[in-house]
């Protein structure tokens, strides 16, 4: 334990917990040496990464975003909330990410820019770009259709659309079953001889 405390003073408190975790309950000298070597290699890797990072903070953030979030975009709501979505997402994906009811009644979107606060209207198949401010447009009369499925890029949006379609289909079948049968019309046939 004394060795662990000495290394925590020398290399910081993180090294103490790292070694303690790596040693496990055994705490044998062999496992400790192996853990120590792994920790030194880990610290060396961190030092190399630090040297490879760009000097400016902006460049560092951009490099980090490029490496870690290469398959994601970040869009904003008009209230300033940040929403992360997979690259290629559409207003439908954003709507369903926020709330199912919003997705079920989404009629389009408005992309707001600094130069045009009223925004430009886009359709449900519009591919969102990173850093856009997206105001979703809803209409209570709008409901999901099969035509929406190709526009939805996320599994969550597609699953919600399918769920809504099944619910509508079930309700339609129940309404058809409970509706009275149409009255039979009697027609008089005349036979001409």
**What pLDDT does residue 30 have?**
53
pLDDT in tens for each of the 193 residues of the chain? 555 556 555 666 555 555 556 555 555 555 556 566 776 777 777 676 666 665 566 665 665 555 555 588 989 999 989 998 999 999 999 999 999 999 999 999 999 987 777 789 999 999 999 889 999 999 999 999 999 999 999 999 999 999 999 988 888 777 777 666 555 554 444 343 3
Residue 13 lies in a domain: yes
What is the per-residue burial (b if ≥16 Cβ within 10 Å, else e) of 59-74?
eeeeeeeeeeeeeebe
Residues 93 and 142 in one domain: yes
| Gap between the Cα atoms of 178 and 113, Å rounded | 51
* Residue 191: per-residue pLDDT: 40
- Our count of domains for the chain comes to 2
Q: What is the pLDDT of residue 58?
A: 65
Residue 76 lies in a domain: yes
Burial class for 169, CB neighbours closer than 10 Å (0-12, 13-18, 19+): exposed
**CATH code for position 100:** 3.10.20.30
Domain enclosing residue 78, as ranges: 72-172
Would you state the pLDDT for residue 68? 52
pTM of the predicted model as reported, rounded to 2 decimal places: 0.57
In the prediction, which pLDDT does 190 show?
Answer: 37
Same domain as 139, residue 84: yes
d(CA 31, CA 11): 19
């Amino acid at each position: 334990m004394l060795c662990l405390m000495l290394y925590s003073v020398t290399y910081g408190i993180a090294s103490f917990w790292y070694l303690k975790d790596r040693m496990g309950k055994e705490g044998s000298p062999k496992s400790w040496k192996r853990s120590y070597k792994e920790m030194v290699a880990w610290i060396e890797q961190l030092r190399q990464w630090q040297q490879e990072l760009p000097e400016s903070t902006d460049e560092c953030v951009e490099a980090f975003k490029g490496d870690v979030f290469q398959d994601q975009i970040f869009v904003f709501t008009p209230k300033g909330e940040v929403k992360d979505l997979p690259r290629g997402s559409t207003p439908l994906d954003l709507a369903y990410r926020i709330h199912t009811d919003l997705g079920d009644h989404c009629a389009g979107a408005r992309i707001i820019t600094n130069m045009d606060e009223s925004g430009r209207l886009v359709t449900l198949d519009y591919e969102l770009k990173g850093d856009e401010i997206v105001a979703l447009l809803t209409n209570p009369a709008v409901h999901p259709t099969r035509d929406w499925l190709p526009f939805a890029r996320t599994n969550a949006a597609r699953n919600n659309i399918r769920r809504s379609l099944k619910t509508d289909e079930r309700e339609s079948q129940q309404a058809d079953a409970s509706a009275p049968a149409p009255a039979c019309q009697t027609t008089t046939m005349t036979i001409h001889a």
